[in-house]
Amino acid sequence: MLRLLIIILSLVLLVALLTRLFSKKLPRQDEKHIAKMVQCDYCQTYVPHNSAVKHAARYYCCEEHKGASKSKPPV
C-alpha cells in the first residue's frame, strides 16, 4: 500500500515538474516594453518620445505646437 502511494505521489510530482518545464512562459507586465513619455512644451500633454517633435532641447506633440510656442501662449 505504501509502495503504491509513493509511486502515485512520484508520478504527480513528475507531471507537475514537466508541465512547468515545458509550459509557454508569458512575459510579465514589467518585462513588456514601456515607451518613454515626454511632455509637450506648449500644451503640456504627454506623447511617446519616438513620436515627439524635438526643437531646441524641447519636445512638442506636433509641428503646429512647435511653431505656435513662439507666437502665443497655450490654450
The model's pTM: 0.51
Query: What pairs with residue 46 in β-bridges?
Result: 39
Identify the band that residue 34 occupies on the pLDDT scale cut at 50, 70 and 90.
confident
pLDDT at 74: 54
pLDDT at 68: 83
Asked if 70 and 42 count as a contact pair (C-beta separation under 8 A), the reply is no
Asked if 63 and 42 count as a contact pair (C-beta separation under 8 A), the reply is no
pLDDT at 26: 67
54 has a pLDDT exceeding 80: yes
Cβ neighbours of 45 (radius 10 Å): 13
Asked if 54 and 62 count as a contact pair (C-beta separation under 8 A), the reply is no
